[in-house]
Amino acid sequence: MRSRGRRRGWIVVVAILVAVGAAWFVNVGRHHLPSPPGCTVADPDGGSGSYELTPGQAGNAATIAAVGMQMGMPNHAVTVALATAMQESKLINLAGGDRDSAGLFQQRPSQGWGTYDQVRDPVYAAKTFYQHLEAEPDWTQLSVNDAAQLVQNSGAPSAYAKWEGEARAVAMALTGESPAALSCHDLKLTTPRGSLVDTASAELGTTTLSGPHDPARGWAISAWLVAHANDLGVDRVGFAGHSWTAASGKWTSDASATDLTFHQVGTA
């Protein structure tokens, strides 16, 4: 009887220790876990709110915006394209979807949007979306939702409207209309996974990134660099009296930053 009592006592003690350990993890330990990488887009209206993206989503949004700028599309078109991709794929380059839909815009090869590999190429997919949008009469006079629906012919024709606020904020950050509005934090930068020269050439249409720029262009390139920082290993960007570093994860005042400069991990 004494042996059984002692065993029960030990069981109670172990159970208490387990409970205490679990409570410590929930209340203390979890606060010491590293924050996941992410990107933040500030409210363009100056409010306290913001929009959160993963680095992958930010990179895809930057690609969509850059292709639009390269094609000479107005900022409204970038907002329409981003709202469309937010609804169709959550800015994730999906391998599949409804029927044969794929990619950021869920374009269908069977409907003449291109081959499967083409619609999975973010640059091709964005360019094709803009071409279809531009071909629609009077699209510039339409709301974001209605312009998107003209291109997509969705079975949920009003679904794009709910993304207008976020798409507008992201578009303003990526086209340079909102300076220093996009920042990425807690990045785990390693050797670049892609070529900055090739990516800039394909998306921005130029490899001349550093140097003097007019404000909108300089901020657009700066935002593009930050949004792609995780893939291209960019750890510092400076422009127009501000600088962003991967270490700080935010833009700060920097009087030494005048012309656009940036630095990649592993370069001199």
pLDDT tens track for 160-175: 999 999 999 999 999 9
Question: Are the C-beta atoms of residues 245 and 254 closer than 8 Å to each other?
Answer: no
**Structural domain for 9, as ranges:** 2-32
26 and 74 inside one domain: no
Question: Are the C-beta atoms of residues 144 and 83 closer than 8 Å to each other?
Answer: yes
133 and 23 inside one domain: no
> By percentage, how much of the chain surpasses pLDDT 90?
82
Q: What are phi and psi of 43, to 5 degrees?
A: -65, 120
Q: How many domains does the chain have?
A: 2
203 and 259 inside one domain: yes
47 and 16 inside one domain: no
pLDDT, tens digit, 9 for 90 and up, residues 95-127:
999 999 999 999 999 999 999 999 999 999 999
| Half-sphere exposure for 254 (CA within 13 Å, toward CB) | 19
**Longest Cα separation, the chain:** 90
* 244/223 Cα distance (integer angstroms): 10
Question: Are the C-beta atoms of residues 253 and 194 closer than 8 Å to each other?
Answer: no
8 and 78 inside one domain: no
74 and 138 inside one domain: yes
The model's confidence at residue 177, banded by pLDDT at 50, 70 and 90, is: very high
In three-state secondary structure terms, 180 is: coil
209 and 107 inside one domain: yes
Instruction: List, in order, residues 6 or more apart from 162 with CB less than 8 Å away.
Output: 87
pLDDT, tens digit, 9 for 90 and up, residues 5-20:
555 555 544 455 445 4
23 and 55 inside one domain: no
177 and 223 inside one domain: yes
19 and 84 inside one domain: no
28 and 62 inside one domain: no
The model's confidence at residue 190, banded by pLDDT at 50, 70 and 90, is: confident
Higher pLDDT, 117 or 47: 117
95 and 9 inside one domain: no
